[in-house]
């Protein structure tokens, strides 16, 4: 193939969602190029949490589109995605976090999102291992849940193909080519492909492609990780997910066990230029280091999970998410090159926002405007940045550390 109307670079959940939404809108000759297999990087590592409401209303709109897209994909593919609608219990203990949870609750009610303040009796019935302060504010958002991100990525890809998109695996894009500031094609290890539009959905590697064209994306590959505790009698798969604002931690059920994620005081960042093509050969956490963050958070975690000391942690998952200084995605056309769009800077939320990201970008590309409010996600909003500078890395690490799931 030597021509496509639109080339998407990257076969993670974002690239596949964009491919699906473009093809569904009738865009012909959509070609997605992935140098490995689909969902081999961040998109197979995510905890898969999906929220309807957060402190960022513009993000919520994108997330809610993902909830709507799930039955659509199931219908097209004929396969169940097995979304686990267990709900989320949000916990706030100190004054400030109680006030923000109260605001979240009020917004949920006004926007028609199921939310219920729950008491100690509810908590001990549904999360018997959870300990919170007597005067804690706890709110249950019953329509939220989690999904297998790998299956979701494949469902987007299969649905994209059913609308005529092509997906080619094992093709490395070495460069995006532009003439007079306008995209003309991509150079790959299997030859040149001309195209009118390119979407960079290459996750943590995106800067490799945009920087040579003078467009530094304001994002840094940042470590995200979680641990999985072995099954115990007090865990169950029907239990809700739990987000603890003050402890900076979240949990969700995992086949009789428990996924536990904690925010680090200072998140680990990487220079994009140090990343190998294949992330599986890269130590995001060095041998033995998987316990450091858990030890650092021991006090915070044992405050709500008193059984921490006896917990049997059996697995650890670490990967890279690209964080921006304000924790918002990078979504839209770059100023530097006409026809070069990005769906990147996923800030650890790309799975839950994938439906909205794909839909809004496809709309923007086909209609030159979007019914979503994408201002907060403008990829050009930070002007010129140096993604290799320590100062810039620190800004992104701080955005990661501030994030409450
Ligand atoms: C531990 C962890 C937990 C997480 N938990 C959650 C969660 O609970 N909920 C949530 O919503 N999100 C979560 N995330 C974030 C989520 O995984 C990401 O936001 C999402 O997967 C990003 O998808 P992507 O398509 O942008 O990137 P990726 O999945 O990284 O895909 C990028 C792809 O581009 C390909 N590529 C790169 N360069 C090229 C090139 N030059 N040519 C061809 N192909 C190329 C790569 O091979 C890769 O397959 C988590 C992430 C981690 C690491």
Distance, CA of 240 to CA of 217 (rounded, Å): 36
The Cβ-side half-sphere exposure at 399, using a 13 Å CA radius, reads 25
What is the separation, in whole angstroms, between the first and last Cα of the chain?
42
- 275, 298, 319: which is the final residue of a domain? 319
Examine the domain organization and report whether 211 and 66 are in the same domain: yes
Verify whether ligand 1 is closer than 6 Å to residue 12 (CB atom).
Answer: yes
For residue 163, the domain's CATH number is: 3.50.50.60
Residue 161's domain spans which residues? 3-75+149-220+325-402
CA of 39 to the centre of ligand 1 (A): 7
The residue-averaged pLDDT of 20-44 equals: 97
Verify whether ligand 1 is closer than 6 Å to residue 48 (CB atom).
Answer: yes
Q: Which run of H or E residues covers position 315? A: strand 313-323
Distance, CA of 282 to CA of 278 (rounded, Å): 7
Using most ligand atoms within 8 A of CB, pick from 48, 262, 350 the residue to mutate for ligand 1: 350
Verify whether ligand 1 is closer than 6 Å to residue 345 (CB atom).
Answer: no
Examine the domain organization and report whether 140 and 166 are in the same domain: no
Verify whether ligand 1 is closer than 6 Å to residue 351 (CB atom).
Answer: yes
Is the pLDDT at 121 greater than 90? The verdict is yes
Cβ-based neighbours of 197, under 8 Å, separated by 6 or more:
5, 6, 7, 183, 339, 340, 341, 365
3-state secondary structure of 178: strand
Pairing of strands 182-188, 30-34: unpaired
Examine the domain organization and report whether 112 and 228 are in the same domain: yes
Examine the domain organization and report whether 216 and 234 are in the same domain: no
DSSP string, 191-229: EEEE-SEEEE--GGGHHHHHGGGT---S-EEEEEEEEEE
In this prediction, residue 134 carries a pLDDT of 94
Verify whether ligand 1 is closer than 6 Å to residue 188 (CB atom).
Answer: no
Is the pLDDT at 242 greater than 80? The verdict is yes
Closest Cα partner for 320 from 267, 262, 356?
267
CA of 165 to the centre of ligand 1 (A): 20
Verify whether ligand 1 is closer than 6 Å to residue 350 (CB atom).
Answer: yes
- 319, 350, 378: which is the final residue of a domain? 319
Is the pLDDT at 405 greater than 60? The verdict is no
Examine the domain organization and report whether 315 and 349 are in the same domain: no
Examine the domain organization and report whether 266 and 242 are in the same domain: yes
CA of 373 to the centre of ligand 1 (A): 23
CA of 148 to the centre of ligand 1 (A): 13
Conformation bin of residue 258: beta by default, left when phi > 0, alpha when psi is -120 to 50: beta
Q: How far is CA 392 from CA 105, 271, 282, 323, 398, in A?
A: 34, 10, 22, 11, 10
Examine the domain organization and report whether 154 and 188 are in the same domain: yes
Is the pLDDT at 403 greater than 80? The verdict is no
Examine the domain organization and report whether 30 and 165 are in the same domain: yes
The residue-averaged pLDDT of 78-87 equals: 98
CA of 319 to the centre of ligand 1 (A): 9
CA of 186 to the centre of ligand 1 (A): 21
- 270, 304, 319: which is the final residue of a domain? 319
Domain count, the chain: 2
Verify whether ligand 1 is closer than 6 Å to residue 108 (CB atom).
Answer: no
Examine the domain organization and report whether 226 and 309 are in the same domain: yes
Verify whether ligand 1 is closer than 6 Å to residue 261 (CB atom).
Answer: no
For residue 257, the domain's CATH number is: 3.30.9.10
Closest Cα partner for 65 from 359, 364, 270?
359
State the Rg of the chain over Cα.
Answer: 21
Atom number, ligand 1, closest to the C-alpha of residue 350: 19
Verify whether ligand 1 is closer than 6 Å to residue 54 (CB atom).
Answer: no
Sheet holding 182-188, edge to edge: 173-179, 182-188, 191-194
Verify whether ligand 1 is closer than 6 Å to residue 40 (CB atom).
Answer: yes
In this prediction, residue 404 carries a pLDDT of 55
Segment among 143-152, 252-261, 319-328, 393-402 with least mean pLDDT: 393-402
- Model pLDDT for residues 261-301, shown as the tens digit of each residue: 998 888 889 999 999 998 888 888 988 888 888 888 899 99
Q: Share the mean pLDDT of the chain.
A: 95
Examine the domain organization and report whether 102 and 165 are in the same domain: no
Examine the domain organization and report whether 137 and 242 are in the same domain: yes
CA of 42 to the centre of ligand 1 (A): 3
Is the pLDDT at 114 greater than 70? The verdict is yes
Using most ligand atoms within 8 A of CB, pick from 17, 42, 323 the residue to mutate for ligand 1: 42
The residue-averaged pLDDT of 24-43 equals: 97
In this prediction, residue 292 carries a pLDDT of 86
Verify whether ligand 1 is closer than 6 Å to residue 15 (CB atom).
Answer: yes
Examine the domain organization and report whether 237 and 301 are in the same domain: yes
Distance, CA of 32 to CA of 176 (rounded, Å): 14
Atom number, ligand 1, closest to the C-alpha of residue 40: 49
């Amino acid at each position: 193939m030597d021509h496509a109307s639109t080339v998407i670079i990257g076969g993670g959940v974002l690239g596949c969602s964009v491919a699906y939404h473009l093809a569904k809108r009738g865009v012909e000759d959509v070609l997605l190029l992935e140098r490995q297999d689909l969902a081999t990087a961040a998109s197979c590592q995510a905890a898969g949490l999906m929220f309807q409401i957060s402190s960022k209303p513009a993000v919520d709109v994108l997330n809610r589109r993902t909830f709507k897209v799930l039955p659509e994909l199931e219908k097209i593919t004929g396969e169940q995605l097995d979304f686990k609608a267990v709900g989320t219990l949000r916990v706030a203990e100190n004054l400030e976090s109680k006030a923000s949870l109260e605001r979240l609750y009020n917004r949920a009610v006004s926007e028609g999102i199921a939310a219920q303040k729950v008491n100690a009796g509810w908590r001990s019935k549904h999360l018997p291992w959870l300990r919170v302060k007597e005067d804690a504010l706890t709110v249950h958002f019953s329509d939220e849940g989690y999904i297998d991100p790998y299956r979701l990525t494949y469902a987007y890809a299969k649905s994209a193909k059913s609308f005529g998109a092509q997906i080619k695996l094992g093709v490395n894009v070495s460069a995006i080519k532009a003439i007079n500031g306008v995209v003309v094609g991509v150079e790959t290890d299997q030859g040149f492909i001309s195209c009118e539009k390119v979407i960079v959905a290459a996750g943590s590697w995106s800067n490799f492609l945009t920087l040579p064209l003078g467009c530094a994306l304001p994002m840094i590959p940042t470590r995200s990780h979680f641990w999985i505790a072995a099954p115990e009698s007090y865990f169950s798969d029907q239990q809700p997910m739990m987000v603890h604002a003050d402890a900076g931690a979240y949990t969700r059920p995992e086949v009789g066990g428990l996924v536990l994620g904690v925010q680090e005081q200072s998140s680990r960042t990487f220079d994009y230029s140090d990343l190998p093509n294949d992330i599986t050969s890269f130590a995001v956490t060095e041998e033995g280091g998987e316990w450091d963050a858990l030890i650092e958070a021991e006090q915070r975690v044992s405050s709500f999970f008193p059984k921490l000391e006896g917990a049997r942690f059996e697995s650890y998952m670490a990967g890279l998410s690209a964080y921006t200084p304000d924790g918002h995605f990078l979504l839209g056309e770059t100023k530097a090159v006409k026809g070069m769009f990005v769906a990147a800077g996923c800030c650890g939320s790309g799975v839950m926002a994938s439906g909205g990201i794909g839909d809004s970008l496809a709309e923007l590309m086909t209609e030159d405007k979007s019914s979503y409010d994408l201002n907060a996600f403008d990829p050009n909003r930070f002007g010129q940045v140096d993604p290799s500078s320590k100062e810039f890395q620190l800004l992104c690490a701080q955005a990661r550390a501030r994030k409450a799931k």
